[in-house]
Amino acid sequence: MKKYIFILIVILLASNTSANIKENIVLNLKNIENINFNFEQNINGKIENGNCTIRYPKQIFCKYNLGNQKVIVSDGKSLIIKTTASYYKYSLDKTPLNYLLDKEFLIKRINELDARIVQEKFINFKFIEKENEINIFFDINNFNLIGWQTLDIYQNLSITYLSSISINKKLKRNLFSLPDRN
């Protein structure tokens, strides 16, 4: 009988810990208006890095440390990827970033999902949305977003790690304005 009581206590403590983790992540996300970070991105084995700023909802500006002056900008509706030699415009809602840049959507999904602890350092939530598999990762100590992994409908794997994170800083007024083709 003692064995069953012990197992029940362990299960209750584990579910309570998971609930606390989710509550802390949700509370942290609710308090974030914008986040700036350095990133390293691996897309199908090709590694790039730079700096990004996200302003919720659905705005992002990323400048890559590349010779081709690559930038990614979303104004909340469109996503532009621009280099010195190319210019691509996408509807944001056709990309996995549509979900990653939507704080309310993330909070809703986190509340629905079970947290997974990875290497006693990270908290992971995994979901599939419109044929996109998305994993988001949070720091187990401060509950900050520290990365994501997406697998899109074309099976392109993209892994993004965040570092040097700063939250709720004053932003340039036109940071999320879409760049021209020139």
Quick check: helix, strand or coil at residue 47? strand
Instruction: Look up the CATH number of the domain holding residue 81.
Output: 2.50.20.10
Low-confidence ranges of the chain (pLDDT < 70): 1-19, 153
Q: What's the gap between Cα 127 and its chain centre?
A: 12
Q: Give how far Cα 35 sits from Cα of 3, 128, 155, 163, 166, Å.
A: 47, 24, 28, 11, 6
For 147, the domain range is: 2-167
pTM for the whole structure: 0.85
Q: Is 174 a domain residue?
A: no
Q: Encode pLDDT of 104-141 as tens digits.
A: 999 999 999 999 999 999 999 999 998 889 999 999 99
